[in-house]
Amino acid sequence: MTHATATVDLMRPPFPAEPGSGVYSNKLGMWVFLASDVMFFTALIGTYIILRFGVSQPWAHPNAVLNVPLTAFNTFLLICSSVSMVKAFAAISQGDQRGLKLWLLITILAGASFVSVQVVEYIKLVGHGFTPAGFREGSTLAEHAVSDPVKYGAATAGLYGSTFFTMTGFHGFHVTCGVISMTYLYFTKVLPGKYSRQDYRGIETIGLYWHFVDLVWIILFTIVYLI
């Protein structure tokens, strides 16, 4: 029996698997959802690419309008939360309840901090005059756009505002849903000790979602903030 336990493959716990797929239904369901979410974000990012590179007028330099250092910090925060999520998974896959509680709490806090920083970023951007409809009349950005229409992409500000807030807003919505789901799991399953080395399906499934949200942000950060 000891030998049999020792050779269990931690990546493939002996949960009841769906016939044919070889994985349990929660995990398969999450993967299918993530596949559909790839198409959802492709539509958003694709629209941005077409609009940005399709218009003949200049587009604003990201550095001129957005706070790139703040978002770079936020990216770092989300990457850290992805690592803490996978550490929570690794902990419970080895039966470490304390590790699971600690790492999942860190993940929730880092995720909530990401959303908070994004809210602060939005408030500052709107305060400077960058809204989903473009540069607000009479704002600092609108004045800059008049003096340097190329750098600030004065003619395409409306397109920039609507695509920027749609993409980052939907991503922020995903992060918020993840934080809420993890908090729910934390209080209903993790704290009462309902996960074990034999059954940690909920942690693996929410982990997949969380890493995907991190993956999408990696692409969004590059395309929206750096290019």
Partner 1 sequence: METTQHKLPNYMLIWLYLFVLTAAEVLFAFEMPISQLAKIVCLLVLAVVKALLVALFFMHLKFERWRLRVVFMIPLPLAAILVLAVITEKLW
Site membership for partner 1, residue 175 (CB under 8 A) = no
Least Å from the CB of residue 137 to partner 1: 30
Nearer to partner 1, 9 or 137 (CB): 9
Pick one of 44, 66, 85, 203: the residue that binds partner 1 (CB under 8 A): 85
Residue 28 makes contact with partner 1 by CB under 8 A:
yes
Phi/psi of residue 60, each to 5°?
-60, 140
Q: Residue count at the site for partner 1 (CB under 8 A)?
A: 53
Determine which residue in the list 10, 123, 146, 180 makes contact with partner 1, applying CB under 8 A: 10
Q: Which residues are within 8 A (CB) of 126 and not within 5 positions of it... i.e. 6 or more apart?
A: 136
Q: Tell me which of 13, 15, 25, 31 binds partner 1, using CB under 8 A.
A: 31
Strand runs labelled E in the chain = 130-131, 134-135
Q: What angle do CA 216, 70, 131 make, to 5 degrees?
A: 80
Q: Does 123 bind partner 1 (CB under 8 A)?
A: no
- 68 near partner 1 (CB under 8 A): yes
Rg for the chain, CA atoms, rounded: 21
Sign of the CA dihedral with 152 first, then 50, 211, and 104 last: positive
The DSSP result for 90-140, as a single string, is HHHHTT-HHHHHHHHHHHHHHHHHHHHHHHHHHHHHHHHTEETTEEPTTSH
Q: Which stretch binds partner 1 (CB under 8 A): 39-47, 134-142, 160-168, 188-196?
A: 39-47
For partner 1, the binding residue among 90, 106, 109, 117 (CB under 8 A) is 90
Instruction: Report helix, strand or coil for 51.
Output: helix
95 binds partner 1 (CB under 8 A): no
> Hey, is 26 helix, strand or coil?
helix
Residue 57 as a binder of partner 1 (CB under 8 A): the answer is no
Question: What is the Cα–Cα distance from 187 to 48, expressed in whole angstroms?
Answer: 39
Residues that bind partner 1 (CB under 8 A): 6-11, 20-23, 28, 31-32, 34-36, 38-39, 42-43, 45-46, 49-50, 54, 63, 68, 72, 75-76, 79-80, 82-83, 85-87, 90, 93-94, 207-208, 211-212, 214-215, 218-219, 221-223, 226-227
